[in-house]
Structure 1
Amino acid sequence: MWTLGVTQKHFGLTQEIQGCATTLEDLGRIRKTITKEAQNMLPLLGEWKGQVAPGIPLLGRRGQLFFWSPFDGVLLPNQQLPSSSSNYNLCISGMSGSGKSFLCNELITTTLSVGGKAFVLDKGESFKKLCHILGGHHLDFDVTTNISLNPFTHIPEGDNGDDLIERSEQLGALLQVVKTMAIPRGEISEIQESFLLEAIDHAWEQKKSQAELDDLYQYLLHHKDPRAQDLAKTLRLYSKGGAYGSFFNGPATLNLGHDLVVIETQNLKDNLKAVIVQMMMVHAWQRMTRSDRSYPYLILIDEAWELIQGKSSGAFIEKVVRTARKYRASLTLATQNLTDYFKPESPGATVAFQNSEWKAVLHQSADVTTSLHHHPQLQELVNNSYRESLIRSLGKAEKFSEIAFYSNSVGGVIGRLACDPWSTLLYSSNPQDYLKVQEGLKQGLSVAETIDAVLDSQEKLG
């Protein structure tokens, strides 16, 4: 209570109540004035106090400590705290060295710390160390990987209401992936889409969850319409006799049972990347629908604009973002530049940006910030001098990284993320830090032992 103290008398006894401002008065920082003069000195400025749920701890530029998470009021299991978020989806943008990987790592650890799950599509091993430390499952995916991603395996066969809804949603999502397989770059016609849907329906009717991609190929190959036969030719790569057939036939063997699953995509061929990424997301979606909705579920895609390319990716991502909320899930995408979300070759990233409640912006180059003035979807971020100066003020990460948060209820709040030395080395994607950790791993040390050793050597060097 900001008062100089009040003296009260009760039954002849005097009681003095001291206020918090008495110490300031002793220091000569207080002066008495009339009420109207104090009113003219308002308003008093204060920083955003953050969310009720204990998410990532951040600091405002004036020192205000606050918590933030894209899950907002549903971060804590079995609780529904006050929230203004329409969904829990997030789009992150920050140049190299801005602290983007630090924020993503913190999102993962925060989600897991409350009992949630995280599925991560990585590019460049930004999350490999964290995965090993937390006992997650890390898979470095390339063309030699012995694994099946057959999307039919985990589609529910039941006839109750929930199974019927989930089956319809998952078969619809599968159609978008098959469209990417058949026509990876160009536009697909209505008749071509109808043939693919017909093949999917036939495979499900005949074999249910035992179906596989080869069933679609065989159905189209023996179709009486030559246009369907042409589609079969484009799907041959994914049939049992095709170069990539082993990934999509036979029962699915992808293990998503761990609380944290990280898939490294750096070694995937470009012509296979979009298909594999979307198929991985189908499996993540299937796990999401089978999960306990009491806990948060994070799906994180790094370098998203590159990983979800393809004309059909927009429709696929739209299905994910529109259904994620009811499963307490967040689709989180990360890119280097804000404009990456609107590249024509990646409509999926555009759809995700348009359907995300939260945007987290880190350091952007001066050229990118200037270009926002002419970008129809992003010009709102710089539509006045204050907003533009806010984005330009976001510096590269040194002792801390700065993040500007935007949502329907928050119009550009800056939070500083500062990590301890141990976490800094764990999260860092800096080439020098990476080499130090790799050297320890080559010597047979664990990730934790390597980090301890590196920090010990730095301390000895002063």
Structure 2
Amino acid sequence: MFGPSALRVNPRSVALPGGVCASFAVAGYPRDVGAGWLEPLLTYPGRLDVSLHVEPVPPLVAAQRLRRQLARLESASRTDAQRGRLADFAAEAAADDAADLAASLARGHGRLFRVGLYLSVHATDPGELEAQVQRVRALAASLLLDAQPTTFRALQGWTTTLPLGHDSVKTRRVFDTAALAAAFPFTSPDLHPNLTDAPVLYGLNAYSSGVVVWDRFAQDNYNSVTIARSGAGKSYFTKLETLRLLYQGVHIAVIDPEDEYQRLCHAVGGTHIALGAPGVCFNPFDLPDGKEDDTLIRRALFVQTLIAAMLGEPLTPAARSVLDRAVLAAYRTCGITADPRTWNRRAPLLADLTSQLDLYAQTGTPNACAAADLAARLAPFVTGSYRGMFAGPTSTRPHGHLIVFSLRDLPEETRTVGMLLALDAIWRQVTDPGDRRRRLVVVDEAWMLMREDEGARFLYRLAKSARKHWAGLAVVTQDAADLLGSDLGQAVIANSATQILLRQAPQAIDKIGAAFDLTDGEKGFLLAADRGQGLLCGTATGSDRAAFTAIASQHEHRLTTTDPAELATLDHPDNSPGKELDPQ
């Protein structure tokens, strides 16, 4: 149950039930290594076990050994010079490396580790094993690795490569922190990202066994754009990144048009606000918590923008003049003036604004007709079919580590208005000078906002200014034409240092290829990509591109999937949260 029933130990191989294996210990390494230098071994097409044993060296012991080694090398170099021998360039290079390591260790920039690298090659018979051994040794030699067989220690070599954490061979080499970090297979050979302490796993590299890890907060800006056709997995991927950023303490706000984030939000204890649902109100006149000198003026200007979105057209100069006076008058009726001490009082409602417009319409002034027209056109939002969201004060405050604004219950006629309200509430938190933290604003199905001029301009402002407040904008859309077909949409793409392309429709691949400078091979990959497969384009260097497949644990999959068949299974009474689903 725990191992093979019998073994036959030969001088250089171990015969296992159904196969045979040979092990090697790496005794020589190149002088310099790059990130992911073990990738060729990890992607070997045959069965090859690679084991890396790491043991830290105490700093005091490391310093003493470095001093002795440096003294030994310098003494040998001086002796050769005194006796007139030719310079030993290998010894000089070793002395320079030892001096650099000693300086780095003294400054606390790194540590030393004893590292053992071992390989076990598996085959079905001795003839095949010999061929595989030759290929593996040739591959190791191409990496400047000296792989020596564990002669008469075949059993110890095999057990050393098992996941037991025990090194029976003890053929080790001293590594510094940089060299050891480069040995770990946590990078993609196609990426050269500037990673910080909190990168995010995007998935497995589509062309190797490496992983694709990316940190949006280490790029020039923190914005991203995700474009894919319907059903390609863009929301699934976005929810995975959202969940993994929450692990790292990033504050996230989501605009959710289809209520796809509700399960995730409830699982992590977030705040879910279903705009348009019965009893859910959201007052646009609320003043933000972070009070500045121009808070009231900025709020009045946003109300004018919101009214224009409600009416579906830009305001005329007369209407804008009347509306500006009516908004300030509505605040005054609640006792709110330019004095910051009055800003904690109850904010007016949309009904108070229409009341002021009605009063202005009765004055008989030149702009009275404009006031009456505005009041009449706002009537559906006050007393008509769309009044639910503006009927009272805000019912749920948007606070928490995850805030989800669901727009599914909003009528199509007011969906853009609800999205604009949600973005404004998020922007108020992003710009709060008293609460600086890493934030991400996710706008799913952004094409709905891009259809409206006011919404597109608001999104453009967020893309341009979010970085100044330690925040990023993640735009997710299935309609590339809405982004590529407008100047504002192209500006959003240009201000996104992280660009993610999943499966594309043939009708849109030419525009996307031209916009993102894709090669014919990359366009072919996006046309034939399976669900969850995509292309990460990092614009930090212009050459960071990697094809990947998004992966999720079983628990993450339960929270992020939107497959109706799977959701029906998850909601079944027999599948309580404490039970695991059949992986099939």
Q: Under TM normalisation by the shorter chain, which class is it?
A: 0.7 to 0.9
The 1-side partners of 2:230 and 2:377 are apart by 38
The 1-side partners of 2:209 and 2:195 are apart by 18
The 1-side partners of 2:402 and 2:264 are apart by 10
Counterpart for residue 212 of structure 1: 349
The 1-side partners of 2:376 and 2:449 are apart by 25
The 1-side partners of 2:576 and 2:255 are apart by 26
Letter in 2 for 1:418: I
Q: 1:134 to 1:302 in 2, by over 3 A?
A: same
User: SS in structure 1 opposite 2:225?
Assistant: strand
Relative to the length of structure 2, the TM-score reads: 0.61
The within-5 A match list for 1:218-233 is 218-223=355-360, 224=365, 225=367, 226-233=369-376
The 1-side partners of 2:307 and 2:491 are apart by 19
The within-5 A match list for 1:416-455 is 416=548, 417-439=550-572, 442=573, 445-446=576-577, 449=578, 452-454=579-581
Tell me how far 1:418 sits from its aligned partner.
2.2
Of the candidates 167, 179, 191, which is equivalent to residue 48 of structure 1?
191
Counterpart for residue 225 of structure 2: 91
Which is further off, 244-253 or 259-268?
Answer: 244-253
Q: Which runs of 5+ in 2 are unaligned?
A: 1-28, 33-71, 80-89, 95-113, 120-133, 145-187, 337-342
Counterpart for residue 260 of structure 1: 402
Tell me how far 1:105 sits from its aligned partner.
1.1
Of the candidates 483, 486, 496, which is equivalent to residue 356 of structure 1?
496
The within-5 A match list for 1:53-452 is 53=196, 54-58=198-202, 59-60=204-205, 61-70=207-216, 72-73=217-218, 83=219, 85=220, 87-142=221-276, 144-155=277-288, 158=291, 163-181=292-310, 183-184=311-312, 186-207=313-334, 208=336, 209=343, 210-223=347-360, 224=365, 225=367, 226-239=369-382, 241-290=383-432, 293-307=435-449, 309-342=451-484, 352-353=492-493, 355-372=495-512, 379-382=514-517, 387-394=519-526, 395-397=528-530, 401-407=533-539, 409-411=541-543, 413-416=545-548, 417-439=550-572, 442=573, 445-446=576-577, 449=578, 452=579
Q: 1:118 to 1:348 in 2, by over 3 A?
A: farther
The 2-side partners of 1:438 and 1:445 are apart by 8
Tell me how far 1:177 sits from its aligned partner.
1.2
Q: How many residues align?
A: 407
Q: 1:410 to 1:293 in 2, by over 3 A?
A: farther
The 1-side partners of 2:472 and 2:212 are apart by 21
The 2-side partners of 1:309 and 1:68 are apart by 31
User: Are the aligned partners of 1:313 and 1:348 in contact in 2 as well (CA < 8 Å)?
Assistant: no
Tell me how far 1:269 sits from its aligned partner.
0.8
User: SS in structure 2 opposite 1:244?
Assistant: coil
User: Are the aligned partners of 1:176 and 1:312 in contact in 2 as well (CA < 8 Å)?
Assistant: yes
State the structure with bigger RCO (CA 8 A, min sep 6), 1 or 2.
1
Tell me how far 1:230 sits from its aligned partner.
0.8
Letter in 2 for 1:180: A
User: Are the aligned partners of 1:148 and 1:251 in contact in 2 as well (CA < 8 Å)?
Assistant: yes
Q: 1:156 to 1:139 in 2, by over 3 A?
A: closer
Counterpart for residue 376 of structure 1: none
Counterpart for residue 77 of structure 1: none
User: Are the aligned partners of 1:88 and 1:330 in contact in 2 as well (CA < 8 Å)?
Assistant: yes
Q: 1:327 to 1:170 in 2, by over 3 A?
A: farther
User: SS in structure 2 opposite 1:112?
Assistant: helix
Q: Which runs of 5+ in 1 are unaligned?
A: 34-44, 74-82, 374-378
User: Are the aligned partners of 2:290 and 2:432 in contact in 1 as well (CA < 8 Å)?
Assistant: no
The 2-side partners of 1:145 and 1:255 are apart by 16
User: Are the aligned partners of 2:195 and 2:215 in contact in 1 as well (CA < 8 Å)?
Assistant: no
Of the candidates 133, 137, 150, which is equivalent to residue 27 of structure 1?
137
User: SS in structure 2 opposite 1:253?
Assistant: coil
Q: 1:27 to 1:19 in 2, by over 3 A?
A: farther
The 1-side partners of 2:142 and 2:502 are apart by 42
Indicate the RMSD between aligned Cα atoms, in angstroms.
3.9
Alpha-carbon displacement from aligned partner over 1:393-436 (angstroms, at most 9, x marks no partner): 134345x5223324364356124232233323432222322222
Residue identity (%): 17
Letter in 2 for 1:368: A
Say which one has the larger Rg: 2
Relative to the length of structure 1, the TM-score reads: 0.75
The 1-side partners of 2:541 and 2:557 are apart by 31
The 2-side partners of 1:26 and 1:392 are apart by 33
User: Are the aligned partners of 2:224 and 2:473 in contact in 1 as well (CA < 8 Å)?
Assistant: yes
User: Are the aligned partners of 2:201 and 2:213 in contact in 1 as well (CA < 8 Å)?
Assistant: yes
User: Are the aligned partners of 1:149 and 1:280 in contact in 2 as well (CA < 8 Å)?
Assistant: no
Tell me how far 1:334 sits from its aligned partner.
0.9
